[in-house]
Amino acid sequence: MQCRSQTNKPVDWFIVYKIPKLGSHTDPNFQAGTGFYYMDNNDPELKPSDRGLDVKSDALFHTLDQIYNNKTEIGYFMYSDHTPDNRTGADPRGHAKGVLGFEQSGGFWMIHSAPRFPPLRSDGYKWQEKASKNGQTFLCISLDYGVVNRTGKQYTDVITIVSRYHHTCSLNISDGVPIHFPYIYDVGFPSMFNKDYPMLRRFSVDKGTRQLHVNEPPWYDVIKLPTKGGVGFLSFSKYGKFGNDLYDGLLSNKLQQDLLVQSWIETQKTPGDKLPSNCSIQYKVYNVNTMRFPGKNIEFATSKDHSKWVVSKDNGNWLCIGDINRQKPQKYRAGGQVCFQNKSAWNSFKKIVKEFAAC
């Protein structure tokens, strides 16, 4: 089990960038809000897909179908602050969405921004119409079952990263390290994994119900996570008690780069929550205002885009995909970004930034 491409072939990582619903566009997929651009490790450049996300023949479907239609024993965790049945809403849990799937040959971690996605395994796979209106991003990275050691440390690292997105709950594992976890709304964990992943077994039982908390700093983490193919990803996560913006309070300083940040920064309901671009720090952080995509005459404002991604502004080749916004309330909410260096992927994302907000 690992990330799968548009043609259902194994890939080390991929990115899907779903375009907002563009009612006047000539392409029916972009009209409907199911059109998207795609890249992976074999071709790290954003290119428009010839199919929509609603036809079950794309990279998201092929990857997640390993959970929905796998007849062998597999493990999986689905988590979201906006579940398919909308049962969480706005609460103190982390602002985090994703899927972890694994078997004894390997697995994948998918980080995304789409609400109410994916459905529960028992409901079967389908694209969620609620996620069609705005832009969304998806990052999938492939994991090797035994790349670190046979005790399951790789997945322990992943679920530790994932778990830190819940800033009021934790479990104290046998080594005494307090960890956080998000709202897990669907889980499968066969007993065959109990020995290798005792911590994951605890998560499968608790599903985020224990109301414990981390009570000492630091309130953030930076963890190295190698992929199945050996690509070095960095996961940046913050607790709610970090009390600051992830981007200008942590990410820019750790990457030592000025950053261009796309996130859901302002809504009609909370127009005063927007965090402005910040040039008062050593490594500046700029809000992206407008995107323009190649090949399909596509342009839209950040107000239409629910995705959360980052590129280093001038050099460094950094690209990050994550799940936390640059909003004042989210200074006090947990979330993160997963980053890697790839010149072609970085350049492809940097080129779609038409305009950003100066300080």
Annotated catalytic sites, by residue?
306
CA angle 111, 114, 119 (to 5 degrees): 90
**Can you spell out the DSSP letters for 192-215?**
GGTTT-HHHHHHHHHTT-------
8 Å CB contact between 145 and 128: no
> What one-letter code names the amino acid at 321?
I
**Closest C-alpha among 242, 259, 245, 248 to residue 320:** 259
Taking the CB of residue 176, how many other CB atoms lie within 10 A of it?
A: 6
**Closest C-alpha among 325, 343, 342 to residue 334:** 325
8 Å CB contact between 286 and 259: yes
**Closest C-alpha among 164, 203, 90 to residue 336:** 164
> What one-letter code names the amino acid at 73?
E
Residues in the chain: 359
DSSP state, 88? S
Pairing label, strands 285-293, 259-262: parallel
